[in-house]
């Protein structure tokens, strides 16, 4: 097997973080960008609401920071919060320079300005958006620029298997030198060498049975970083989006938080409102509170869903603000303009991840992590709505600032060992992978979901340990495939989520346990140290 040509920076992941970083670096460095499927297929594509940033005259950076810290339930890093929100206006300006088509409105004198909406946890209108498909607009804006840049090589239909560090191949340094990558078209494993490697792989939504995330959100970056020796933090804090469309054919289609921000009401099957019984902010409470309230009411009543009603705003208003959501619901038989639509919570966002500093640097030299894969301290115990895309843009930029001055000083990596598959065969038992995948996601949903108990976590831990041994045996004996790589990663990260949840002896933010329903005033972040 021949070694792949050297690149300066290998970026694994093609969402907002990966695309932004590639463009910020490409004028001064050779970039290879890896995408598991099409370049436009990551989680960013599905982000509806928008990007939070201080753009209104009545808003302030202090207010954005305060709202973020309040939503984070006492576990945010204030320095990181202030750093992130302070960069917001600049990063929005950069996106606009790239051609981002944010929604505009005209005032009484027909002057155009950008429309800002308000979402849960925010005290001001500060969410800039492109109708109700902001993520899709980001990807559509940045992807062509990435494809056209002469210094960026994109490899679609490629999945990373593992990172290569010096200490794993007999070197004295533990620096990250590249990665083993499976070409999903040829089924061949290649070696990619690079001066720097950046994980921009997104989160872990697919570890749960019901999720708003696309199929590729399988925690690959978190798992690879753990196996490379990185610390992982706050994995117990998995955000469940309160409102995904409940329909057998909808595959957990997300109903943007902006629907509630613009006046949508949550109701029980009998048409009565209930959120005011759980929080004075009602529908505009942070996501953890809204998701728990819905979960409580569904279990209390034994119903499959609750209702979200914005029909009182009228068809013209709905079409103006939520054209894509309206049309998607209509195609499935629900008319938002005339009826309430059924919604349920679903796993949505991973607030923990690979520990990094404000430049995206991990514990492993030469390895960075940005976006949802990373734990920066921004989100604490709960992410405030629309801070995720902001995080992608801010930390892509800060990583680029840190990487660029170093490129000329870092020598190209040496030749790396080829992938050794001489002792494996092609599997004739693919049912093992599909069965384990299904079992894992079911027990994570049942035992490590919105409401937890010690017994549920113990049951989940026993099952994840049994699956780990079975998956490991399978991985060691058969050729790798996309499903096997993802299953191996999901099982490892499920274990990290369970272990983190077992360590937290309180209820806070997105972690709610019946055994410890109160907050612990002496709380701290949960850090797991890799034994690899």
State residue 150's pLDDT score. Answer: 97
Token readout for 498 is: 């369970």
Q: Report strand pairing: 238-245 vs 176-183.
A: unpaired
Q: Distances from the Cα of 311 to the Cαs of 271, 293, 308, 316, 317, in angstroms?
A: 13, 22, 9, 10, 9
CATH classification of 7-236+351-409 is 3.40.50.300, yes or no? Answer: no
Token readout for 34 is: 């890896």
For residue 429, give the 3-state DSSP assignment: coil
Angle among Cα 36, 412, 358 to the nearest 5 degrees reads 65
Please report where in the chains the tokens 């593992």 appear, as a residue.
162
Residue by residue, DSSP assigns 228-276 as HT--EE-TT-EEEEEEEE--TTTSS-B--HHHHHTT-EEE-TTS-B-GG
β-sheet with 306-309: strand ranges across: 238-245, 341-350, 306-309, 265-267
State residue 90's pLDDT score. Answer: 98
Q: Distances from the Cα of 489 to the Cαs of 294, 298, 464, 482, 483, in angstroms?
A: 30, 32, 12, 11, 10
State residue 3's pLDDT score. Answer: 61
Marked catalytic residue, from 175, 193, 287, 508: 287
Q: Where are the domains of the chain?
A: 7-236+351-409, 241-346, 431-519
Q: How far apart are CA 529 and CA 231, in angstroms?
A: 5
494 Cβ contact partners less than 8 Å away, ≥ 6 residues apart = 207, 440, 444, 448, 460, 464
State residue 487's pLDDT score. Answer: 96
Q: Distances from the Cα of 473 to the Cαs of 386, 470, 487, 520, in angstroms?
A: 41, 5, 13, 41
Q: What are the residue ranges of helices labelled H in 404-525? A: 431-447, 454-477, 482-503
For residue 5, give the 3-state DSSP assignment: coil
Token readout for 446 is: 């049942």
- Which segments within 26-184 are labelled E, that is strand? 31-34, 51-52, 104-106, 112-114, 116-117, 127-128, 152-155, 158-165, 176-183
Token readout for 210 is: 């019901």
For residue 179, give the 3-state DSSP assignment: strand
Question: If we measure between CA atoms, which residue out of 521, 489, 510, 499 comes closest to residue 227?
Answer: 489
Task: Extract the residue ranges of the chain whose pLDDT is less than 50.
Answer: 1
For residue 467, give the 3-state DSSP assignment: helix
State residue 208's pLDDT score. Answer: 94
Question: Catalytic site residue 441?
Answer: no
Note the pLDDT tens digit of each residue in 437-459. Answer: 999 999 999 899 999 999 999 99
Token readout for 204 is: 């872990």
Angle among Cα 94, 26, 397 to the nearest 5 degrees reads 40
Q: How far apart are CA 218 and CA 3, in angstroms?
A: 27
State residue 348's pLDDT score. Answer: 92
State residue 99's pLDDT score. Answer: 97
**The architecture CATH gives domain 431-519:** Up-down Bundle (1.20)
Note the pLDDT tens digit of each residue in 198-210. Answer: 999 999 999 998 8
Residue by residue, DSSP assigns 325-360 as HHHHHHHTT--TTTS-EEEEEEEEEE--EEE--TT-
**The architecture CATH gives domain 241-346:** Alpha-Beta Complex (3.90)
Question: If we measure between CA atoms, which residue out of 348, 328, 329 comes closest to residue 211?
Answer: 348
């Amino acid at each position: 097997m021949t070694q792949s040509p050297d690149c300066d920076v290998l970026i694994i992941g093609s969402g907002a973080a990966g695309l932004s970083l590639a463009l910020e670096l490409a004028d001064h460095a050779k970039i290879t960008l890896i995408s598991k499927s099409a370049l436009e297929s990551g989680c960013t594509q599905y982000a509806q609401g928008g990007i939070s940033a201080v753009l209104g005259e009545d808003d302030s950076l202090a207010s954005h920071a305060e709202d973020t810290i309040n939503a984070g339930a006492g576990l945010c890093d204030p320095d990181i919060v202030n750093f992130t929100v302070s960069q917001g206006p600049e990063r929005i300006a950069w996106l606009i320079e790239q051609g981002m088509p944010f929604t505009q409105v005209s005032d009484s004198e027909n002057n155009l300005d950008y429309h800002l909406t308000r979402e849960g946890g925010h005290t001001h209108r500060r969410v800039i958006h492109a109708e109700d498909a902001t993520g899709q607009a980001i990807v559509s804006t940045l992807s062509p620029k990435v494809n056209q840049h002469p210094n960026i090589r994109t490899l679609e239909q490629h999945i990373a298997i593992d990172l290569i560090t010096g200490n794993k191949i007999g070197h004295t340094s533990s620096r990250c030198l590249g990665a083993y990558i499976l070409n999903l078209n040829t089924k061949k494993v290649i070696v990619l060498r690079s001066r720097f490697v950046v994980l921009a792989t997104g989160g872990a939504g697919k570890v749960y049975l019901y999720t708003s995330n696309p199929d590729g959100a399988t925690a690959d970056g978190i798992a690879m970083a753990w196996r490379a020796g990185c610390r992982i933090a706050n994995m117990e804090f998995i955000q469940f989006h309160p409102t995904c469309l409940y329909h057998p054919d909808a595959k957990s289609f997300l109903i943007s938080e902006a629907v509630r921000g613009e006046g949508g009401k949550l109701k029980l099957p009998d048409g009565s409102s209930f959120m005011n019984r759980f929080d004075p902010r009602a529908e505009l409470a942070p996501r953890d509170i809204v998701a728990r309230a819905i979960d409580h009411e569904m279990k209390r009543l034994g119903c499959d869903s609750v209702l979200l009603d914005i029909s009182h705003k009228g068809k013209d208003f709905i079409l103006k603000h939520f054209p894509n959501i309206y049309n998607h619901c209509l195609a499935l038989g629900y008319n938002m303009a005339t009826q309430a639509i059924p919604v349920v919570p679903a796993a949505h966002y991973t607030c923990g991840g690979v520990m990094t500093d404000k430049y995206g640097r991990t514990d492993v030299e030469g390895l960075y992590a940005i976006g949802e894969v990373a734990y920066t301290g921004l989100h604490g115990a709960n992410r405030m709505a629309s801070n995720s895309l902001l995080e992608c843009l801010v930390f892509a930029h800060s990583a680029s600032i840190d990487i660029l001055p170093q490129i000329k000083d870092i020598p190209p990596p040496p030749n790396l060992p080829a992938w050794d598959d001489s002792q494996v065969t092609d599997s004739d038992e693919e049912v093992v992978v599909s069965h384990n995948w299904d079992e894992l996601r079911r027990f994570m949903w049942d035992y490590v979901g919105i409401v937890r108990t010690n017994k549920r976590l113990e049951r989940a831990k026993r099952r994840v340990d049994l699956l780990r041994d079975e998956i490991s045996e399978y991985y060691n004996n058969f050729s790798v495939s996309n499903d096997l790589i993802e299953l191996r990663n999901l099982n490892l990260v499920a274990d990290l989520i369970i272990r983190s949840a077992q360590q937290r002896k309180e209820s806070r933010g997105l972690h709610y346990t019946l055994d410890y329903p109160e907050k612990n005033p002496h709380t701290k972040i949960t850090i797991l140290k890799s034994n690899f």
